[in-house]
Amino acid sequence: MAVLAADTGFHEHLRQVYPHRPDLRDRFDGDPAGRVDQARFNAALQIGYLIVGIRAAGLAAGPMAGFDPAGLDADFFPDGRLHCLLVITIGRPGPDAWADRLRPRLTGDLERRVVTLGRFLAGELCFRGNERDYYDPRNSYLHRVLGRRLGIPITLSLVAMAVAELASISLPASVLKNPGTTCPSVTDGNAYHNPPYVSSAYPGTANQPWLYICYNNTPGLDFTSPATNQGQLDVNVIVLYTYGPITPLVKSQFGVFQVAANQHMTVQGP
């Protein structure tokens, strides 16, 4: 917990921190009321920066109201120079700490709720992409992404989906295309069923993900019961998504976008 206060004696340091206006020290010295107003204004700005910094570091910041400023001043700042402005709790957020803050804002249709979710994660919780070092291994570990508020698109998407689920935003569920189609057709003839995929493999409905599980790069191979003799064989998990932009201008100019992500894994054991 932190007690944040305004320093009404800030003018005493102006000749060091603001040397190109040495006259301001004497000016504020003769204007106690103006000095208090300036101290409170600047302290409020710094409090805002502090809250953003705390949340950007992966911690939770909880500004509190209802305290007794005069009582805190008497206990912590008896010389009268500092005046309490805010009490703030600082700590690590709980597993669902964000859901209750977000849930009341999720009104309107799905597009509006998704926009609200994005603004909440990026604007208030300061989640962002690691533009400086995309290949930093920490970008791929969720506990690191949550702690640093820094990741790559796929891990940030997982965070968004988890928060959306906790907040009951009801995003469309993935549709498993097995057993009808296990390995979507590709446009460049590669034998590993990596992108690019044919347009018909993507959902016809915007913002609807389709999931394919491609076993051993063999179209049509599927399992309805636990399989044997698959050790060291390849499993290719493919997610295809037709993204419909929320911004009307972008949607009118470009329509929808086809997005693909896949991951090859090796089966262990028999």
- For residue range 145-177, list pLDDT tens digits in order: 887 888 988 888 888 877 777 776 666 677 888
CA distance linking residue 118 with residue 115, whole number of Å: 5
* φ, ψ of residue 198 in degrees (nearest 5): -70, 155
Residue 140's pLDDT is: 85
Residue 95's pLDDT is: 63
Of 131, 132, 130, nearest to 141 by C-alpha is 130
Walk me through the domains of the chain, giving residue ranges and CATH numbers: 2-91 (3.40.109.10), 99-166 (no CATH), 175-266 (no CATH)
Residue 211's pLDDT is: 92
Tokens of 70: 């005069």
Residue 269's pLDDT is: 62
Of 113, 109, 94, nearest to 164 by C-alpha is 113
pTM reported for the whole predicted model: 0.47
* φ, ψ of residue 59 in degrees (nearest 5): -100, 170
Of 169, 174, 234, nearest to 207 by C-alpha is 174
* Residue type (1 letter), 39: A
CA distance linking residue 68 with residue 55, whole number of Å: 26
CA distance linking residue 4 with residue 72, whole number of Å: 10
Going from the C-alpha of 22 to that of each of 30, 35, 107, 109, the distances in angstroms are 14, 16, 53, 57
Identify whether the C-beta of residue 39 lies closer than 8 Å to the C-beta of residue 31: no
Residues of the chain with pLDDT under 70: 95-96, 168-172, 227, 245-251, 268-270
Identify whether the C-beta of residue 106 lies closer than 8 Å to the C-beta of residue 167: yes
Residue 102's pLDDT is: 83
CA distance linking residue 23 with residue 10, whole number of Å: 14
